[in-house]
Chain A
Amino acid sequence: MQAEEKLTYETWPASPERSTLEAKNKFLGFWLFLGGETVLFASLFATYLALKDKVPDSSHHLAKDIFELPLTLTATMLLLTSSLTSVYAMYHMKNFAFKKMMVWLSITVLLGLGFLGLEIYEFNHYVHEFHHTFTSSAFASAFYSLVGFHGAHVTFGLGWILALMFRNYKRGLNLYNAPKFYVASLYWHFIDVVWVFIFTVVYLMGMVG
Protein backbone atom coordinates (compact mmCIF):
# COMPACT_ATOMS: atom_id res chain seq x y z
CA MET A 1 0.00 0.00 0.00
CA GLN A 2 1.21 3.50 -0.79
CA ALA A 3 1.06 6.36 1.66
CA GLU A 4 -0.61 8.79 -0.75
CA GLU A 5 -3.20 6.33 -2.05
CA LYS A 6 -6.81 7.57 -1.78
CA LEU A 7 -8.61 5.03 0.37
CA THR A 8 -12.24 4.41 1.17
CA TYR A 9 -14.01 2.82 4.11
CA GLU A 10 -13.83 -0.51 2.22
CA THR A 11 -10.14 -0.40 1.38
CA TRP A 12 -8.90 1.05 4.68
CA PRO A 13 -6.48 -1.55 6.25
CA ALA A 14 -7.03 -3.11 9.68
CA SER A 15 -3.84 -1.58 11.12
CA PRO A 16 -3.38 1.73 9.27
CA GLU A 17 -0.71 2.75 11.78
CA ARG A 18 1.60 0.00 10.47
CA SER A 19 0.57 -0.52 6.81
CA THR A 20 3.40 1.26 5.03
CA LEU A 21 7.16 1.04 5.47
CA GLU A 22 7.27 4.63 6.69
CA ALA A 23 4.55 3.86 9.23
CA LYS A 24 6.40 0.78 10.50
CA ASN A 25 9.59 2.79 10.93
CA LYS A 26 7.72 5.54 12.74
CA PHE A 27 6.06 3.03 15.05
CA LEU A 28 9.34 1.30 15.92
CA GLY A 29 11.29 4.53 16.29
CA PHE A 30 8.67 6.04 18.54
CA TRP A 31 8.71 3.10 20.94
CA LEU A 32 12.51 3.34 21.10
CA PHE A 33 12.04 7.01 22.01
CA LEU A 34 9.55 6.05 24.75
CA GLY A 35 12.12 3.61 26.20
CA GLY A 36 14.58 6.53 26.35
CA GLU A 37 11.95 8.80 27.91
CA THR A 38 11.41 6.20 30.62
CA VAL A 39 15.10 6.43 31.58
CA LEU A 40 14.99 10.23 31.41
CA PHE A 41 12.02 10.48 33.76
CA ALA A 42 13.56 7.82 36.03
CA SER A 43 16.59 10.07 36.57
CA LEU A 44 14.30 12.92 37.60
CA PHE A 45 12.27 10.64 39.90
CA ALA A 46 15.49 9.30 41.43
CA THR A 47 16.76 12.84 42.04
CA TYR A 48 13.45 13.86 43.60
CA LEU A 49 13.37 10.82 45.89
CA ALA A 50 16.93 11.45 47.02
CA LEU A 51 16.32 15.17 47.66
CA LYS A 52 12.78 15.03 49.02
CA ASP A 53 12.34 17.34 52.03
CA LYS A 54 16.04 18.29 51.93
CA VAL A 55 15.77 21.96 52.91
CA PRO A 56 18.40 24.32 54.42
CA ASP A 57 16.44 25.27 57.55
CA SER A 58 13.07 24.94 59.27
CA SER A 59 11.64 28.10 57.66
CA HIS A 60 11.11 26.06 54.46
CA HIS A 61 7.97 24.06 53.93
CA LEU A 62 8.09 20.29 53.43
CA ALA A 63 6.09 18.09 51.06
CA LYS A 64 3.37 17.34 53.60
CA ASP A 65 2.79 21.07 54.26
CA ILE A 66 2.26 22.22 50.69
CA PHE A 67 0.43 19.46 48.79
CA GLU A 68 -3.37 19.30 48.67
CA LEU A 69 -5.21 16.14 47.66
CA PRO A 70 -8.33 17.66 45.97
CA LEU A 71 -6.24 19.63 43.45
CA THR A 72 -4.10 16.59 42.59
CA LEU A 73 -7.18 14.37 42.29
CA THR A 74 -8.86 16.81 39.89
CA ALA A 75 -5.73 17.04 37.74
CA THR A 76 -5.43 13.24 37.73
CA MET A 77 -9.05 12.80 36.63
CA LEU A 78 -8.61 15.32 33.79
CA LEU A 79 -5.49 13.60 32.46
CA LEU A 80 -6.84 10.06 32.88
CA THR A 81 -10.06 10.97 31.06
CA SER A 82 -8.06 12.62 28.26
CA SER A 83 -6.23 9.32 27.87
CA LEU A 84 -9.56 7.54 27.29
CA THR A 85 -10.76 10.18 24.83
CA SER A 86 -7.61 9.70 22.75
CA VAL A 87 -8.33 5.94 22.75
CA TYR A 88 -11.77 6.84 21.32
CA ALA A 89 -10.06 8.98 18.68
CA MET A 90 -7.87 6.04 17.61
CA TYR A 91 -10.92 3.73 17.58
CA HIS A 92 -12.57 6.03 15.03
CA MET A 93 -9.28 6.31 13.11
CA LYS A 94 -9.29 2.51 12.68
CA ASN A 95 -12.89 2.70 11.44
CA PHE A 96 -11.97 5.46 8.95
CA ALA A 97 -14.27 7.98 10.68
CA PHE A 98 -12.22 11.17 10.30
CA LYS A 99 -14.75 13.64 11.74
CA LYS A 100 -15.40 11.57 14.85
CA MET A 101 -11.66 11.19 15.36
CA MET A 102 -11.23 14.98 15.17
CA VAL A 103 -14.04 15.51 17.70
CA TRP A 104 -12.45 13.15 20.22
CA LEU A 105 -9.02 14.69 19.65
CA SER A 106 -10.52 18.12 20.37
CA ILE A 107 -11.95 16.83 23.66
CA THR A 108 -8.52 15.37 24.48
CA VAL A 109 -6.90 18.75 23.85
CA LEU A 110 -9.48 20.56 26.02
CA LEU A 111 -8.93 18.16 28.93
CA GLY A 112 -5.16 18.53 28.50
CA LEU A 113 -5.51 22.33 28.62
CA GLY A 114 -7.54 21.96 31.83
CA PHE A 115 -4.75 19.91 33.35
CA LEU A 116 -2.13 22.44 32.30
CA GLY A 117 -4.19 25.31 33.76
CA LEU A 118 -4.40 23.53 37.11
CA GLU A 119 -0.65 22.93 37.12
CA ILE A 120 0.07 26.61 36.41
CA TYR A 121 -2.31 27.61 39.23
CA GLU A 122 -0.62 25.09 41.53
CA PHE A 123 2.96 26.31 40.88
CA ASN A 124 1.84 29.94 41.23
CA HIS A 125 0.15 29.06 44.53
CA TYR A 126 3.31 27.37 45.91
CA VAL A 127 5.53 30.30 44.94
CA HIS A 128 3.28 32.96 46.49
CA GLU A 129 1.88 31.07 49.45
CA PHE A 130 4.92 29.09 50.62
CA HIS A 131 7.88 30.86 48.89
CA HIS A 132 8.58 27.44 47.41
CA THR A 133 10.57 28.56 44.35
CA PHE A 134 12.90 26.72 42.00
CA THR A 135 15.99 28.03 43.81
CA SER A 136 14.71 28.00 47.41
CA SER A 137 15.92 24.48 48.30
CA ALA A 138 17.20 21.20 46.87
CA PHE A 139 13.74 19.77 47.49
CA ALA A 140 12.07 22.58 45.52
CA SER A 141 14.52 22.28 42.60
CA ALA A 142 13.97 18.53 42.36
CA PHE A 143 10.18 18.98 42.63
CA TYR A 144 9.90 21.65 39.93
CA SER A 145 12.31 19.79 37.63
CA LEU A 146 10.28 16.59 37.76
CA VAL A 147 6.73 17.98 37.72
CA GLY A 148 7.67 20.86 35.41
CA PHE A 149 9.32 18.52 32.93
CA HIS A 150 6.10 16.51 32.83
CA GLY A 151 4.14 19.74 32.35
CA ALA A 152 6.43 20.63 29.44
CA HIS A 153 5.61 17.23 27.93
CA VAL A 154 1.90 17.98 28.25
CA THR A 155 2.42 21.35 26.55
CA PHE A 156 4.40 19.76 23.74
CA GLY A 157 1.80 16.99 23.35
CA LEU A 158 -1.00 19.56 23.06
CA GLY A 159 0.96 21.51 20.43
CA TRP A 160 1.67 18.29 18.53
CA ILE A 161 -1.95 17.11 18.45
CA LEU A 162 -3.20 20.60 17.50
CA ALA A 163 -0.61 20.87 14.71
CA LEU A 164 -1.71 17.50 13.30
CA MET A 165 -5.37 18.52 13.50
CA PHE A 166 -4.82 21.85 11.70
CA ARG A 167 -2.52 20.41 9.05
CA ASN A 168 -4.87 17.55 8.15
CA TYR A 169 -8.17 19.36 8.65
CA LYS A 170 -9.04 19.37 4.94
CA ARG A 171 -7.02 16.33 3.91
CA GLY A 172 -9.01 13.60 5.65
CA LEU A 173 -7.50 10.30 6.65
CA ASN A 174 -4.89 8.51 4.57
CA LEU A 175 -1.99 6.18 5.23
CA TYR A 176 0.34 9.18 5.36
CA ASN A 177 -1.28 10.85 8.35
CA ALA A 178 -2.90 7.91 10.19
CA PRO A 179 0.47 6.77 11.68
CA LYS A 180 1.13 10.37 12.74
CA PHE A 181 -2.13 10.53 14.69
CA TYR A 182 -1.44 7.10 16.19
CA VAL A 183 2.06 8.01 17.37
CA ALA A 184 0.81 11.29 18.88
CA SER A 185 -1.80 9.33 20.84
CA LEU A 186 0.92 6.95 22.10
CA TYR A 187 2.83 10.00 23.34
CA TRP A 188 -0.30 11.26 25.10
CA HIS A 189 -0.77 7.90 26.87
CA PHE A 190 2.88 7.92 27.91
CA ILE A 191 2.37 11.33 29.53
CA ASP A 192 -0.42 9.75 31.56
CA VAL A 193 1.82 6.80 32.50
CA VAL A 194 4.38 9.25 33.91
CA TRP A 195 1.64 11.18 35.74
CA VAL A 196 0.45 8.00 37.50
CA PHE A 197 3.90 7.74 39.09
CA ILE A 198 4.05 11.47 39.80
CA PHE A 199 0.75 11.54 41.70
CA THR A 200 1.76 8.40 43.59
CA VAL A 201 5.42 9.13 44.35
CA VAL A 202 5.33 12.92 44.68
CA TYR A 203 1.88 13.83 45.95
CA LEU A 204 0.48 10.78 47.76
CA MET A 205 3.82 9.68 49.24
CA GLY A 206 4.48 13.34 50.07
CA MET A 207 1.23 13.52 52.06
CA VAL A 208 2.10 10.29 53.91
CA GLY A 209 5.37 11.92 55.03
Chain B
Amino acid sequence: MTNQPLSSSNPRVDLEYRRRKNAEEMRYQVISFTLMIFLTFVAFGVVAIKGFTAWFVVPFILLLACVQVVFQLFYFMHMSHKGHEAPSMFLFTGVFLAMIMVWAFMTIIWW
Protein backbone atom coordinates (compact mmCIF):
# COMPACT_ATOMS: atom_id res chain seq x y z
CA MET B 1 0.00 0.00 0.00
CA THR B 2 2.95 2.32 0.46
CA ASN B 3 3.46 4.74 -2.42
CA GLN B 4 0.76 3.28 -4.61
CA PRO B 5 1.45 3.89 -8.29
CA LEU B 6 -1.20 6.09 -9.86
CA SER B 7 -3.11 4.57 -12.72
CA SER B 8 -2.50 7.57 -14.97
CA SER B 9 0.02 10.36 -15.21
CA ASN B 10 -2.66 12.84 -14.19
CA PRO B 11 -3.49 12.37 -10.49
CA ARG B 12 -6.89 14.12 -10.90
CA VAL B 13 -8.12 11.32 -13.17
CA ASP B 14 -7.19 8.69 -10.61
CA LEU B 15 -8.94 10.72 -7.92
CA GLU B 16 -12.15 10.99 -9.91
CA TYR B 17 -12.08 7.25 -10.54
CA ARG B 18 -11.59 6.49 -6.84
CA ARG B 19 -14.37 8.83 -5.82
CA ARG B 20 -16.79 7.20 -8.20
CA LYS B 21 -15.70 3.74 -7.05
CA ASN B 22 -16.35 4.75 -3.43
CA ALA B 23 -19.78 6.11 -4.35
CA GLU B 24 -20.62 2.91 -6.20
CA GLU B 25 -19.56 0.83 -3.23
CA MET B 26 -21.72 2.96 -0.94
CA ARG B 27 -24.70 2.15 -3.17
CA TYR B 28 -24.06 -1.57 -2.66
CA GLN B 29 -23.84 -0.95 1.08
CA VAL B 30 -27.28 0.69 1.07
CA ILE B 31 -28.70 -2.21 -0.97
CA SER B 32 -27.30 -4.75 1.50
CA PHE B 33 -28.72 -2.69 4.38
CA THR B 34 -32.17 -2.80 2.74
CA LEU B 35 -31.88 -6.58 2.37
CA MET B 36 -30.82 -6.93 6.02
CA ILE B 37 -33.85 -4.91 7.17
CA PHE B 38 -36.05 -7.10 4.97
CA LEU B 39 -34.57 -10.33 6.41
CA THR B 40 -35.11 -9.01 9.95
CA PHE B 41 -38.78 -8.28 9.26
CA VAL B 42 -39.26 -11.74 7.71
CA ALA B 43 -37.69 -13.39 10.79
CA PHE B 44 -39.86 -11.40 13.22
CA GLY B 45 -42.92 -11.92 11.00
CA VAL B 46 -42.55 -15.71 10.92
CA VAL B 47 -42.42 -15.78 14.73
CA ALA B 48 -45.23 -13.22 15.22
CA ILE B 49 -47.69 -15.05 12.95
CA LYS B 50 -47.57 -18.18 15.19
CA GLY B 51 -48.98 -20.35 12.37
CA PHE B 52 -45.80 -22.32 11.73
CA THR B 53 -44.34 -25.24 13.66
CA ALA B 54 -41.12 -24.81 15.63
CA TRP B 55 -39.50 -27.41 13.36
CA PHE B 56 -39.83 -24.99 10.48
CA VAL B 57 -39.37 -21.66 12.27
CA VAL B 58 -36.13 -22.40 14.17
CA PRO B 59 -33.98 -23.57 11.21
CA PHE B 60 -35.53 -20.88 9.01
CA ILE B 61 -34.74 -17.91 11.29
CA LEU B 62 -31.23 -19.32 11.94
CA LEU B 63 -30.67 -19.40 8.18
CA LEU B 64 -31.88 -15.79 7.86
CA ALA B 65 -29.50 -14.77 10.68
CA CYS B 66 -26.56 -16.42 8.89
CA VAL B 67 -27.40 -14.67 5.60
CA GLN B 68 -27.64 -11.33 7.40
CA VAL B 69 -24.29 -11.87 9.12
CA VAL B 70 -22.66 -12.68 5.77
CA PHE B 71 -23.90 -9.31 4.45
CA GLN B 72 -22.56 -7.60 7.56
CA LEU B 73 -19.13 -9.26 7.34
CA PHE B 74 -18.54 -9.13 3.60
CA TYR B 75 -20.04 -5.72 2.83
CA PHE B 76 -20.18 -3.59 6.00
CA MET B 77 -16.88 -4.96 7.32
CA HIS B 78 -15.33 -5.12 3.80
CA MET B 79 -14.27 -8.77 4.02
CA SER B 80 -15.00 -9.11 0.30
CA HIS B 81 -12.15 -6.67 -0.41
CA LYS B 82 -8.60 -7.69 -1.30
CA GLY B 83 -6.11 -8.11 1.52
CA HIS B 84 -8.53 -9.84 3.90
CA GLU B 85 -6.93 -13.31 3.76
CA ALA B 86 -5.55 -13.28 7.30
CA PRO B 87 -8.72 -11.64 8.76
CA SER B 88 -10.83 -14.37 7.08
CA MET B 89 -8.61 -17.06 8.56
CA PHE B 90 -8.88 -15.53 12.06
CA LEU B 91 -12.64 -15.09 11.86
CA PHE B 92 -13.44 -18.50 10.36
CA THR B 93 -11.20 -20.22 12.93
CA GLY B 94 -13.31 -18.43 15.55
CA VAL B 95 -16.54 -19.53 13.84
CA PHE B 96 -15.28 -23.13 13.65
CA LEU B 97 -14.48 -23.20 17.38
CA ALA B 98 -17.81 -21.47 18.10
CA MET B 99 -19.76 -24.21 16.32
CA ILE B 100 -17.88 -26.96 18.18
CA MET B 101 -18.56 -25.23 21.47
CA VAL B 102 -22.31 -24.80 20.88
CA TRP B 103 -22.57 -28.38 19.63
CA ALA B 104 -20.70 -29.72 22.67
CA PHE B 105 -22.78 -27.76 25.20
CA MET B 106 -26.06 -28.78 23.58
CA THR B 107 -25.33 -32.47 23.18
CA ILE B 108 -22.81 -33.66 25.76
CA ILE B 109 -22.32 -31.46 28.78
CA TRP B 110 -25.83 -31.16 30.23
CA TRP B 111 -27.09 -34.57 29.22
Contact = CB atoms under 8 A, between A and B. Distances in A.
B83 A18 contact: yes
Interface stretch (A30-38, A114-122, A126-134, A159-167): A30-38
Interface string B43-67: 1100110000010011001101100
Q: Interface size for chain B: under 10, 10 to 19, 20 to 34, or 35 or more residues?
A: 35 or more
Contacts of B15: 9-10
Contact of A46 (B26, B86, B105): B105
Q: Interface size for chain A: under 10, 10 to 19, 20 to 34, or 35 or more residues?
A: 35 or more
B61 A204 contact: yes
Interface in A158-201: 186, 189-190, 192-193, 196-197, 199-201
B8 interface: no
A73 interface: yes
Chain A interface secondary structure, helix, strand, loop or mixed? helix
Contacts of B64: 200
Contacts of B73: 189, 193
A14 B18 contact: yes
Interface stretch (A86-94, A105-113, A145-153): A86-94
A207 interface: yes
A141 to B, nearest CB: 14
A189 B109 contact: no
Contacts of B86: 28, 31
A49 B102 contact: yes
Contact of B76 (A36, A50, A83): A83
Interface of B: 1-4, 11-12, 15, 18-19, 22, 25-26, 29-30, 33, 36-37, 40, 43-44, 47-48, 54, 57-58, 61-62, 64-65, 68-69, 72-73, 76-77, 83, 86-87, 90-91, 93-95, 97-99, 101-102, 104-106, 109-110
Given A42-B94, A42-B99, A45-B102, 14 more contacts: A1-B3, A10-B11, A10-B12, A15-B83, A19-B1, A28-B86, A34-B91, A35-B94, A49-B105, A95-B19, A189-B76, A197-B65, A199-B43, A208-B47
